[in-house]
Homo-oligomer: A and B are copies of this chain.
């Protein structure tokens, strides 16, 4: 356990591990407080990182030595304060870049993830500051995920529920699309189910949820209905 104030730059792999530990520990709902975070299993990290569990163990050892995580063997891993800071910093890069690609360069909101995943590790703080400025310091990315501020606080989000949990007849606004699966994103984009879109829930069926978006009615498979987070609101928002 190493507590230098000045640390050697982390590798792309190390940064991605820290970010994944944060995301998995938050269950897709970051609160901005390390205490609200759960221990993360080696297995789940291995799945997310597309890597063998043995490789995860190796990396966790390294990160623990650097003082960025606490790893209790067989019980999972948590971020330290230092590791949490790094993870938020990477998350800020990722989400700002997504915004920028969408708003400044005309990428579709469903296309931005892959490019951001790489660039997040390679931009300078100056670059971060300039695009944040250009964007007007946005609070959410194109998928509706909150962007940590320059001081690494997360903005409060309004209460929302999954589309699959909406009552029959209810109206609402899509506020978050919580998947990185490219096929799912493409399909949702095609249906106009982007953050900001308004939907009505017609009924829940065994195969999924029937919904109305604009003039169109769709049957949305449950898997997809669970990644859409909705803020309830009157008809046509």
Compute how far the CA of A181 lies from the CA of B121 in the bound complex, rounded to whole angstroms: 25
Residues of B within 8 A of A105 (CB): 127, 130-131, 134
Residues of B within 8 A of A123 (CB): 115, 119
Select A119's contact among B104, B122, B126, B134, beta carbons within 8 Å: B122
Residues of B within 8 A of A130 (CB): 105-107
Against B, the Cβ 8 Å flags (1 = close, 0 = not) of A96-109 are: 00000100111100
Residues of B within 8 A of A119 (CB): 119, 122-123
Against B, the Cβ 8 Å flags (1 = close, 0 = not) of A111-146 are: 100110011011110110011001000000000000
Query: Apart from A105-B127, A105-B131, A115-B127, what are 12 other A-B pairs with CB-CB below 8 Å?
Result: A101-B127, A105-B134, A106-B130, A107-B126, A111-B126, A114-B124, A115-B124, A115-B126, A118-B122, A119-B122, A119-B123, A121-B122
Q: 5 closest pairs, A vs B, by CB?
A: A105-B130, A122-B122, A118-B122, A115-B124, A119-B122
> 18 pairs across A/B with beta carbons < 8 Å?
A101-B127, A104-B104, A105-B130, A105-B131, A105-B134, A106-B130, A107-B130, A111-B126, A114-B124, A115-B123, A115-B124, A115-B126, A115-B127, A118-B122, A119-B119, A119-B122, A119-B123, A122-B122
